[in-house]
Structure 1
Amino acid sequence: MKETVDQRELESRILKLLADEDLKELGHTVQDVAPEDIVLTLERLTENQRAIVFRLLHKDEALEVFEALDPSVQSDLVHGLRDTEVAELFEGLDPDDRVWLLDELPATLAPKLLLGLSDREKRLTAVVLGYPQDSVGRRMTPEYVTTRMDYTVADTMVRLRDRIDDAETIYLLPVLDDARHVAGVVSLRDLIAANPDDVIANIMSEAQSVRASDDAEHAARKLTEAGFVAIPVVDSERRLVGLLTFDDAMRIIENEESEDSARQGGVEPLRRPYFATPIMQLVRSRVVWLLVLAVGATLTVQVLDVFEGTLAEVTVLALFVPLLIGTGGNTGNQAATTVTRALALGDVRARDLARVLGREARVGLMLGLLLGTLGLVLAGFVYSWQIGAVIGLTLVAICTVAATIGGIMPLIARWVKVDPAVFSNPFISTFVDASGLIIYFLIARAILGL
């Protein structure tokens, strides 16, 4: 049995052997390493290095490693392998994994690979490819084993053994009626525990299912929250068309959360491991957002210009500008992140805007009162109680406004059918910076009589 190794030592050794062009020793090295360690190493190598190492793997291990790679890395690897090697790997993939790869490949290459498939694999892949990009039908497996309500447990076990090599999962079997409608589900555990003569209708459970046209993330979260190993995917007439498995659901959720996390941080998602991402793609993922934020920051400059006279009269006010806009931006980002997460989990819907607004306004007010009291005391002791009052009231107002805006922006985004993460942290920070300064200087003018 292959053992896992220290990842840094393995990577250093592989890089040294590649530099020395010692392919014989490199072959011995990679053949003694567990597939999961090979996957991690391949994702950190260059495209050419990756192709060399991959070719030295045994055929069976190569397919296992290839299936575990990120689809974007698979796409890069395809360009570095010979046509025959690519055709063998492509044929060996499950249909849903094959579609993941096709979505990453250039449009000119995908038809060529599809033509090389066997008739059976071509037919199964076509079923998955027929659904929209973000639908669960695009991520389901069409390879499954079913049973019927009037079958016995013994009949079902025979059917399962006959088709076990063609199914992606055998732990959950949809139960069909004569029209291929999903009448229920039965688990492998239930089959093993039951009497061979028991009828499936007597031991099956009620089926929860998702439509093939449903959003993939929504379906994936439904599966994981319910704790299923798989969930039937049906068409508009509730006829079975596939299964969404737990591993594919986790993959969907991971991709969606990575995308949300990236956009909340002001970058476009990479959709590939960091070291497998070209430098220019890293630049492109960041530069657009930086330009947008730079333009937005001009609002802050304009506000400072308008209140330049106020700053000139009481220069101490300038000392608190970073504190106030930083606190406002952080408060808004916290609210936006919380609500965006709740949207993804289905805890909050777009129609809950009024309720979210009320909750976040109260949360912001309470945070503002806590921070404002602290600001009042500290600024009052160090400078004057008038300055302390300005800082305290400004913190109360900024926190309330920032939390309210941060909470409702993701809901507005969902309502206008835009990714909530896009509307979150970068834009909220820019908006709160400008509005926070206006609040600050208006309060200062009122209290200090400027």
Structure 2
Amino acid sequence: MSNATTIETLRRMLASLDDAKKYQSLRDVLSTINAPDLAAVFEDLPQEKMPVLFRLCPKDLAADVFAELTPETQEALIRGLTDKELKVVVEELCADDAADLVEEMPASVVKRILSQAEPDTRKMINELLKYPEDSAGGVMTTEFMELSPEWTVRRAMEEIRQKGFDKETINNCYVTGSDRTLVGVVSLRGLVLEKNENRRIDDMMDTAVISVTTGTDREQTSQLFEKYGFLAIPVVDGENRLVGIVTIDDAISILQDEASEDFAKMNAMAPADKPYFKRTLWNLYKSRAPWLLFLMLSATFSSLVIRGYEDALAAVTVLTAYIPMLTDAGGNAGSQSTSTIIRGMAVGEIRPHDLPRILWREFRVALLCGATLAVCNMAKLILFDRVGVMIAMVVCLTLFCTILISQLIGGILPVAAEKVGIDPAVMASPLITTIVDTTTLLVYFNIAKLLLHI
């Protein structure tokens, strides 16, 4: 039976649960579904059915499912669990997931969660919460496998068998000195394949360890996974003492969140941390209206330019017909340039000091693009629109200049934003379109005055 069929079977059983009471059958089906897919089922459940289904899940699966749920669904589920059930969930969660849970919940729910946690768990959660949310320390887990350099392979394997079950990952084991200073890393594969069980860990460990500090930005940390292909990255404090690890699943979530945030900003919306259908109409309104109002007011500059050249438009009314084409072309060209630069900055390919190289490349690309559009547009204007040569020259020369200026502006703005501490995504499509529109109109009317003597 395919996974999709199994989930559909589960949904049908839930629909008739109150009548059939086939709890054992339901428990058997649950054991065949993985946590992310089962979490999606929980998201669609009525609140009163969540605790029933959750109690039927095996303990390990229940904790994994809980960690996959959105904060809103977690809160709803917690309200339906007994203190004893909540205690089991909290103790089964990984340290970073437990910290995230506490950070997202209302004060009343947090108080209940912490009251059910063991002292060691509370201490671990409080340690993680002291780090900024957007730092490596804020997303790391403290459940990692730690080895001593003087241990033998045999001793290390015994330690992994005893303590590895509760660790986030054991693919890489981190070697620390007596003061917990990170001195090396050894893979589980290397330990398993080592034929000499008496070989010391310090003889086989890799001392060139890539690590981050607790204060490293979480997005920069996530980019290291893509660069090096890691499954986990160790996190150290200011004295190079190992305090945690960031795992690949957290890195993927961070990159998804950052991409969603950039996408929202690039489309003139406030970033949201909730799914679309979980957001209220008021939240959707608040995320969009302020930006729309700002862009509407900023477009006033374009209106002022047009009003300033009313006489020129009155003398040659045909010029009005080509304003939308010119402003759209400029806005699109600027958006292409800006989006390319923002993407390069996001993945670490472009740095602020690369601005001269960026401008030189964008200038050459703009020359080619502008010339192509101008030539094609000249043919269209003369052959199909039947306008005069001088009018066509005005439009095409403006188009060429607009593409050139727009792409240069599109290359400068994101880098300038990064320099002054503003998110480069803010400088994306909507804002740059407004800037380019005004610039395009100024170029258009001044070229028209120069060539047509109006």
Q: What TM-score results when the alignment is normalised by the length of structure 2? A: 0.90
One-letter amino acid of the structure 2 residue matched with residue 338 of structure 1: T
- 1: distance between equivalents of 2:7 and 2:150? 57
- Partner SS state of residue 171, structure 1: strand
CA 1:5–1:108: 2 relative to 1, 3 Å: same
- 2: distance between equivalents of 1:324 and 1:92? 60
Q: Cα offset for 1:157?
A: 0.5
Work out whether residues 374 and 392 of structure 1, in 8 Å CA contact, stay in contact via their aligned partners in 2: no
Equivalent runs, 1:32-431 vs 2, <5 Å: 32=29, 34-35=33-34, 36-43=36-43, 45=44, 48=47, 51=50, 54-55=53-54, 57-60=56-59, 61-71=61-71, 73-75=73-75, 77-78=77-78, 85-195=85-195, 196-205=197-206, 206-381=208-383, 382=385, 383-431=387-435
Q: Cα offset for 1:72?
A: 5.1
Percent identity of paired positions between Structure 1 and Structure 2: 35
Work out whether residues 73 and 276 of structure 1, in 8 Å CA contact, stay in contact via their aligned partners in 2: no
- 2: distance between equivalents of 1:286 and 1:149? 56
Of residues 420, 443, 448, the one that matches 1:439 is: 443
- 1: distance between equivalents of 2:349 and 2:72? 32
Work out whether residues 153 and 201 of structure 2, in 8 Å CA contact, stay in contact via their aligned partners in 1: yes
- Partner SS state of residue 266, structure 1: coil
- 2: distance between equivalents of 1:399 and 1:110? 55
CA 1:379–1:273: 2 relative to 1, 3 Å: same
Work out whether residues 46 and 276 of structure 1, in 8 Å CA contact, stay in contact via their aligned partners in 2: no
- 1: distance between equivalents of 2:96 and 2:274? 18
- 1: distance between equivalents of 2:130 and 2:198? 40
Q: Cα offset for 1:212?
A: 0.8
One-letter amino acid of the structure 2 residue matched with residue 236 of structure 1: G
Tell which deviates more after alignment, 246-255 or 292-301: 292-301
Q: Cα offset for 1:256?
A: 0.8
CA 1:282–1:181: 2 relative to 1, 3 Å: same
- 2: distance between equivalents of 1:324 and 1:7? 55
Residues 187-237 of structure 1: CA deviation (Å, up to 9, x unaligned): 111111112122212221221110011101101111232001111100011
CA 1:390–1:186: 2 relative to 1, 3 Å: same
Tell which deviates more after alignment, 240-249 or 317-326: 317-326
Q: Cα offset for 1:136?
A: 0.4
Residues 88-138 of structure 1: CA deviation (Å, up to 9, x unaligned): 433321111122223322345334422321112112212211211211001
- Partner SS state of residue 380, structure 2: helix
Question: For the aligned residues, what is the CA RMSD?
Answer: 2.7
CA 1:152–1:365: 2 relative to 1, 3 Å: same
Q: How many residue pairs are counted as aligned between the two chains?
A: 446
Work out whether residues 54 and 62 of structure 1, in 8 Å CA contact, stay in contact via their aligned partners in 2: no
Q: What TM-score results when the alignment is normalised by the length of structure 1? A: 0.90
- 1: distance between equivalents of 2:161 and 2:169? 12
- Partner SS state of residue 186, structure 1: strand
Q: Cα offset for 1:363?
A: 2.1
- 1: distance between equivalents of 2:380 and 2:24? 67
- Partner SS state of residue 444, structure 1: helix
CA 1:12–1:88: 2 relative to 1, 3 Å: closer
- Partner SS state of residue 5, structure 1: helix
Q: Cα offset for 1:261?
A: 1.0
- Partner SS state of residue 145, structure 1: strand
Q: Cα offset for 1:380?
A: 2.5
- 2: distance between equivalents of 1:10 and 1:447? 74
Work out whether residues 83 and 116 of structure 2, in 8 Å CA contact, stay in contact via their aligned partners in 1: no
Q: In structure 1, list runs of 5 or more residues that go unmatched.
A: none
Tell which deviates more after alignment, 352-361 or 154-163: 352-361
- 1: distance between equivalents of 2:381 and 2:448? 14
Q: In structure 2, list runs of 5 or more residues that go unmatched.
A: none
Q: Cα offset for 1:177?
A: 2.1
- Partner SS state of residue 125, structure 1: helix
Tell which deviates more after alignment, 139-148 or 388-397: 388-397
Q: Cα offset for 1:338?
A: 1.2
- 2: distance between equivalents of 1:302 and 1:165? 69
CA 1:93–1:52: 2 relative to 1, 3 Å: closer
- 2: distance between equivalents of 1:54 and 1:91? 20
